[in-house]
């Protein structure tokens, strides 16, 4: 006999519905979303399980950001629940929403969502428990924060380029050097006007670039000349506007440097934690500690997935078919659901792998030339899908990557 427990989680409380195998509601209650409330709910579940001689308990709740994490871990690790072979699932809210639509005459009550979740559990055909081991959870916190910081850095750099165009409209077209290098940023922090830059002695400007760039310029004088050329050909701003732009440039530079430093600190922590998690993903050329950690943190134990197709679907690297009769669409869209963090790290890893591994480079180029539009994006996502098959094999068999040998004909 099985017992199904649907839990509707919010930041304040948890509404629970305890349902029998034949769909009878055995209990419906509301508890606080904290340790005391979860403990009381646990006791009620255990009492009912003992009363009805239950062999297995399935507990499910929607994946509601951080609110469902603590309850899921509590029920997953509780020793009294383990005696009943308890499985804890966090379910994609879209699945519950679609399932709810099939009930057209439901009463409007506070516990209806918990009842729906319990009934969905009763129907089965759901993924295995997504509760991961603690080391993967710790790693996930780090890699997701890194994802957040990388996107913040990208957005801040876009703001910086916008401010730079106001300051010196010809800079990016005339200067053959990274605008995000230390020397260029230090020059902008000095808040020189374009006329002051244009009037500088070329040797003094070149020496400034050499010092701030720590002698990384192969030809500092050439870069200095290109900066002066950009300054002379750019539009002029009024003093009022220029002062504002200088302030914004300085703010963006400090933000970029701050976020970059934070990312480096996270990378160190990620590498340190990853050293304690045996894996073979890093044997793939192009995949280092960060990409490996990002992938492992979201997959967790590979045994949670039935096969590589399940991993791909979890990442959202799956395409819906569009076919009717003899017609089949040439261009289809990826599913909109899926783990965006896993998808991000898989795609980034695929881009690195295709630059370092000949087999994946050839596959990328083949897919790139198959279509006239969205070439890079399409080829990269398909390469990521191919990479999923390799990662699944390596993790499932605990083997290192071995390049395929070319057979001479």
Alpha-carbon distance 221 to 259, whole Å?
A: 31
- CA distances to 135, 366, 377 from 371, rounded to whole Å, are 42, 10, 11
The pLDDT score that the predictor gives to residue 360 is 96
The pLDDT score that the predictor gives to residue 329 is 47
Beta bridge partners of residue 142, listed in sequence order: none
Residues in the chain: 409
The pLDDT score that the predictor gives to residue 177 is 86
Nearest CA to 154 out of 260, 54, 247 is that of: 260
DSSP assignments along 217-268, one per residue: -S-HHHHHHHHHHHHHHSPP--HHHHHHHHHHHHHHHHHHHHHHHHHHHHHH
Contact criterion met (CB below 8 Å) for 7 and 86: no
Residue 89 buriedness (CB in 10 A; 0-12 / 13-18 / 19+):
buried
The pLDDT score that the predictor gives to residue 66 is 81
Kindly report, residue by residue over 353-408, the tens digit of the pLDDT: 999 999 999 999 999 999 998 899 999 999 999 999 999 999 999 999 988 765 45
**What crossing angle do the helices spanning 69-77 and 35-51 adopt, rounded to 10°?**
40
pTM of the model: 0.79
- CA distances to 202, 206, 219, 231, 236 from 225, rounded to whole Å, are 7, 8, 10, 10, 19
* Residues in the chain, pLDDT under 70: 65, 108, 127-132, 319-337, 405-409
Contact criterion met (CB below 8 Å) for 279 and 296: yes
Beta bridge partners of residue 25, listed in sequence order: 19
Structure tokens at 198: 């244009």
Quote the CATH superfamily of domain 2-131.
Answer: Ribonuclease H-like superfamily/Ribonuclease H (3.30.420.10)
pLDDT mean across residues, the chain? 90
H/E stretch holding 18? strand 13-20
Kindly report, residue by residue over 253-281, the tens digit of the pLDDT: 999 999 999 999 999 999 999 998 888 99
């Amino acid at each position: 006999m099985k017992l199904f427990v649907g839990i509707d989680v919010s930041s304040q409380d948890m509404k629970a519905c305890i349902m029998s195998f034949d769909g009878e509601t055995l209990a419906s209650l509301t508890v606080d979303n904290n340790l005391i409330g979860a403990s009381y709910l646990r006791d009620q579940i255990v009492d009912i399980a003992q009363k009805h001689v239950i062999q297995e308990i399935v507990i499910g709740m929607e994946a509601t950001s951080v609110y469902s994490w603590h309850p899921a871990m509590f029920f997953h690790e509780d020793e009294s629940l383990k005696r009943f072979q308890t499985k804890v699932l966090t379910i994609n809210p879209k699945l519950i929403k679609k399932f709810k639509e099939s009930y057209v005459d439901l009463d409007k009550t506070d516990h209806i969502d918990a009842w729906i979740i319990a009934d969905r559990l009763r129907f089965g055909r759901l993924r295995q428990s997504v509760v991961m081991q603690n080391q993967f959870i710790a790693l996930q916190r780090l890699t997701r924060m890194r994802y957040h910081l990388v996107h913040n850095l990208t957005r801040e750099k876009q703001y910086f380029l916008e401010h730079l165009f106001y300051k010196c409209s010809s800079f990016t077209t005339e200067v053959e050097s990274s605008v995000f290098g230390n020397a260029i940023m230090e020059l902008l922090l000095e808040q020189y006007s374009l006329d002051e830059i244009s009037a500088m002695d070329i040797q003094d400007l070149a020496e400034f670039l050499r010092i701030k760039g720590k002698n990384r310029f192969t030809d500092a004088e050439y870069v200095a000349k290109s900066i002066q050329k950009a300054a002379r050909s750019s539009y002029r701003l009024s003093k009022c506007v220029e002062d504002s732009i200088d302030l914004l440039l300085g703010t963006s530079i400090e933000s970029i440097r701050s976020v970059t430093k934070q990312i480096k600190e996270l990378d160190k922590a990620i590498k340190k934690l990853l050293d304690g998690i045996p894996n073979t993903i890093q044997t793939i050329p192009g995949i280092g500690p960060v990409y490996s950690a990002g992938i492992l943190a979201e997959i967790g134990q590979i045994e949670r997935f039935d096969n590589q197709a399940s991993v791909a679907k979890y990442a959202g690297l799956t395409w819906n078919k569009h076919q009717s009769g003899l017609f089949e669409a040439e261009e289809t869209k990826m599913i909109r659901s899926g783990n965006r963090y896993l998808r991000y790290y898989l795609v980034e890893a695929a881009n690195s792998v295709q630059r370092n591994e000949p087999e994946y480079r050839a596959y990328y180029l083949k897919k790139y030339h198959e279509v006239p539009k969205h070439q890079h994006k399409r080829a990269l996502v398909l390469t990521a899908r191919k990479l999923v098959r390799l990662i699944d094999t390596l993790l499932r068999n605990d083997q290192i990557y071995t390049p395929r040998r070319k057979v001479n004909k």
